[in-house]
Amino acid sequence: MAKSLSLGIVLFDGFELLDVFGPLEMIGMYPETFSLYMVAEHSGAIASAQGPKSVIDQVFSDNVQYDILLVPGGQGTRGEVDNPVILEWLRQQSKGAKFVTSVCTGSALLARAGLLDGIRATSNKSAFSFAESQGPGVRWVKQARWVEHGKFFTSSGVSAGIDMSLALIKKVMGEEAADQAAVWAEYEQHGDASRDPFAGVYGLD
C-alpha cells in the first residue's frame, strides 16, 4: 500500500472554523490517501474565531515535514502576519511540501512569508485589500473562487475552501474521487475556479 500523504493543518488563535473543517470534511473521506494533523506553535487547545477549540496533534518544534499544508484564515491572521515564528515555519515547510494550500486570509500569511511572490493567488473577497497589503509581489486574482499555480492552491473566503479542497483531491486522486466526495457530503460544487460570485458583492469584478 502506498504511503498516505501527511496533511498539516496550521492553527492559531482566531482561526476560522469552516476554513479548517470544510476542507477536512472532504479530504478526510479518503483516510487511506491523507493523514490529517492539527499543528500549531504551542501545544494544547487552540480557540477558533467562533469560540470552539481544537486540540493540537503536533507543534512546530517537532520538526515534522508535511506533504501538504493547509493554512486557514480568520481574524487571527491579523496578528499572525507579524509572528516571525509561524512565518519562518511556513517558509521551511513550503520547501519540502508537495502542495501548499490556503483558505481565506490564510493566503495573507503565505504572502507575508514571501512564498507567493510571482504566484497567482486569491483570498477572501471582503478582506482582499488586507491580503494584498501583505504581498505586493503576488499576482492577486480578484475574481477567482480558487487558484492553482504550481504546488500552491489558494481560495477565496470560508466556504470556498471546500471547492479548493475538492480541486486538491482531483489533483491527487482524480476527478471521480473529487466528485464522489462532494456527493457523499451532499455539496454542490462551484466548478469554475475563475469565478467567485462574491467578487461582485465586494466590488472586485
Where in the chain are the domains?
A: 5-184
Range 5-184 has CATH code 3.90.600.10: no
Alpha-carbon distances of 140 from 34, 79, 117, 128, 131, rounded to whole Å: 29, 21, 10, 9, 9
Query: In the prediction, which pLDDT does 205 show?
Result: 79
Query: In the prediction, which pLDDT does 3 show?
Result: 77
User: What is the distance between the alpha carbons of residues 150 and 23, in angstroms, rounded to a whole number?
Assistant: 19
Query: In the prediction, which pLDDT does 68 show?
Result: 98
**pTM, to two decimals:** 0.96
Greatest C-alpha distance within the chain: 49
Query: In the prediction, which pLDDT does 2 show?
Result: 62
Ranges in the chain, pLDDT < 70: 1-2
